[in-house]
Structure 1
């Protein structure tokens, strides 16, 4: 079995010693090649080369941004591609701060524990197919969003460039800051879902491909608990920025068996597509990566498009 290990050496929880142990362990089960990313977009280039070279497995060791790049490198920009039997399987050993995708697949957050999970799965050729989301020429593996969460992702990116460590506490601080900064701005979004009248007056919208939507350390945050890698997309959109209704929804998001509901909330699970139009340019994020301002974005569910090495669920 030929495997390419793509390592982001700048990911939050990766260390040289940990990377060496990981490579040594994987070498016992695969014909391993190791590549370190050096710049933005490098993981996507490496993944494309792995496909062209006939690799059997691509193993991501980094955060969700590294995983997203690899997936986009493997699949290319079009959501209309069919299933490619020559596509390498994807495996993930977490190395970032949140590791939402890996943890949603049932992979341990600790890199060494995840490696111990991965080795027998590789040896026994255990894998499963999952669906992904697509928007704006990009694939997303767990979530995308317009408005508030995109503003938070932009602020986190700026913090990272300033040399500040990415933590759950920093995400929360930025979320609170961006929430209050946005309260006096008029809602700009209109959402169009199949078989429904357009919904206007939306301040921000989250689109999920799995549940939970994210993690705050060990606590999962559930926007659409009915969404999974085997279903369509989940939509979570708020039509208010008032403090008390927003706090009630936040409490539901953090509840152990959260099932958010509110008169001000549009929530839909298992959606094949959703289109968002904005009266002004509004931020877009994909898997935590801020993409810039948009006025018209369509999110599409593409079922069973990627084979991943992960425990059966």
Structure 2
């Protein structure tokens, strides 16, 4: 089996020793080519090369952003011709970021050593799981994309990372609380449209999910759409208020893992499409990476477009 191992030396929780240990472990059983990313977009270039050169599997050691880039490189733009699943390498992940939402949604351990052992066993048995992906802005997303307050937090966090600060869970929590309770930047409102529902106006922040959880705080999953998974359509979560009392109540239900419900919240699972419309440019994030400001987002999904190295779903 030929495996391309793509590592991100700049990921929050990767080390040179850990990357070498992973490469050596994989090389003990497979033919492994190691590639280190050097710039933004490089992981996508490597993913495309892995497809062109006929690798059996691509393993990413990095954060969610690196995995997103690789998946987009392997699949190409959603507006183009999507390769047939059986013609692509399987995508495996050894977590190296701060949240590692995608890997953990696939029941991959957040501990890189444990995840490596899982990966080796799965590769040995040829385990594959087909997953569906969401898309917007002619890019695929693995677990969620958002407009408004959460994207502002991602933008502020990226600014801190560029100054040398790590993207830890506690830092994310502090910045999220500051954004909602002491907002220094006010996000524009926007309108959300979903099938069979009147447009929802005055939305302050909204997420479109491809699976759950939305994110993790340490070991605790944070659920916006508990009924959304890789096997069905998109989940939508749109709130028309950021008031402190309402945000506290809504946040507590998300932490508990119960279905979030509130008068100012529209939430739905398994929808075919979602549209966000804003009169003014608003911040947008995808899989935890900041994309910039946009006024229009059209979301869709495609079923079973990518095979991942994970235990298949049992019926």
Aligned to 2:258: 258
Question: Do the aligned residues in 2 keep the contact of 1:209 with 1:228 (CA within 8 Å)?
Answer: yes
Question: Do the aligned residues in 2 keep the contact of 1:2 with 1:32 (CA within 8 Å)?
Answer: yes
**What is the alpha-carbon distance in structure 2 between the residues aligned to residue 184 and residue 123 of structure 1?**
50
Aligned to 1:233: 234
Cα distance, 1:185 vs structure 2: 4.8
**What is the alpha-carbon distance in structure 2 between the residues aligned to residue 110 and residue 311 of structure 1?**
17
Q: Deviations over 1:150-173 (max 9, x none)?
A: 000000100000001111111111
Match status 1:140 vs 2:178: no
3-state DSSP of counterpart to 1:14: coil
Aligned to 2:105: 104
Question: In the superposition, relative to structure 1, how do residues 199 and 19 fare at CA in structure 2: closer, same or farther (>3 Å)?
Answer: same
**What is the alpha-carbon distance in structure 1 between the residues aligned to residue 203 and residue 104 of structure 2?**
30
Aligned to 1:209: 210
Cα distance, 1:184 vs structure 2: 9.1
Question: In the superposition, relative to structure 1, how do residues 185 and 44 fare at CA in structure 2: closer, same or farther (>3 Å)?
Answer: closer
**What is the alpha-carbon distance in structure 2 between the residues aligned to residue 165 and residue 185 of structure 1?**
25
Cα distance, 1:79 vs structure 2: 4.7
Q: What TM-score do you get using the length of structure 2 for normalisation?
A: 0.96
**What is the alpha-carbon distance in structure 1 between the residues aligned to residue 29 and residue 107 of structure 2?**
21
**What is the alpha-carbon distance in structure 2 between the residues aligned to residue 60 and residue 138 of structure 1?**
19
Q: Deviations over 1:266-288 (max 9, x none)?
A: 00101111001001110010001
Aligned to 1:3: 3
Alignment of 1:38-117 (within 5 A): 38-79=38-79, 81-84=81-84, 85-117=86-118
Aligned to 1:16: 16
Name stretches of at least 5 consecutive residues in structure 2 with no aligned partner. none
**What is the alpha-carbon distance in structure 1 between the residues aligned to residue 249 and residue 83 of structure 2?**
42
Aligned to 1:30: 30
- Which consecutive aligned stretches of 4+ in structure 1 deviate over 3 angstroms post-superposition? 79-83, 180-187
Cα distance, 1:297 vs structure 2: 0.3
**What is the alpha-carbon distance in structure 1 between the residues aligned to residue 187 and residue 49 of structure 2?**
46
**What is the alpha-carbon distance in structure 2 between the residues aligned to residue 101 and residue 149 of structure 1?**
18
Number of positions where the alignment pairs a residue of Structure 1 with one of Structure 2 = 312
3-state DSSP of counterpart to 2:87: coil
Aligned to 1:151: 152
**What is the alpha-carbon distance in structure 1 between the residues aligned to residue 76 and residue 22 of structure 2?**
28
**After alignment, is 221-230 or 172-181 more displaced?**
172-181
**What is the alpha-carbon distance in structure 2 between the residues aligned to residue 79 and residue 120 of structure 1?**
35
Match status 1:193 vs 2:205: no
Cα distance, 1:182 vs structure 2: 4.7
Q: Deviations over 1:215-254 (max 9, x none)?
A: 0111110000000011111111101121111110000010
Cα distance, 1:22 vs structure 2: 0.9
Question: Do the aligned residues in 1 keep the contact of 2:75 with 2:82 (CA within 8 Å)?
Answer: no
Name stretches of at least 5 consecutive residues in structure 1 with no aligned partner. none
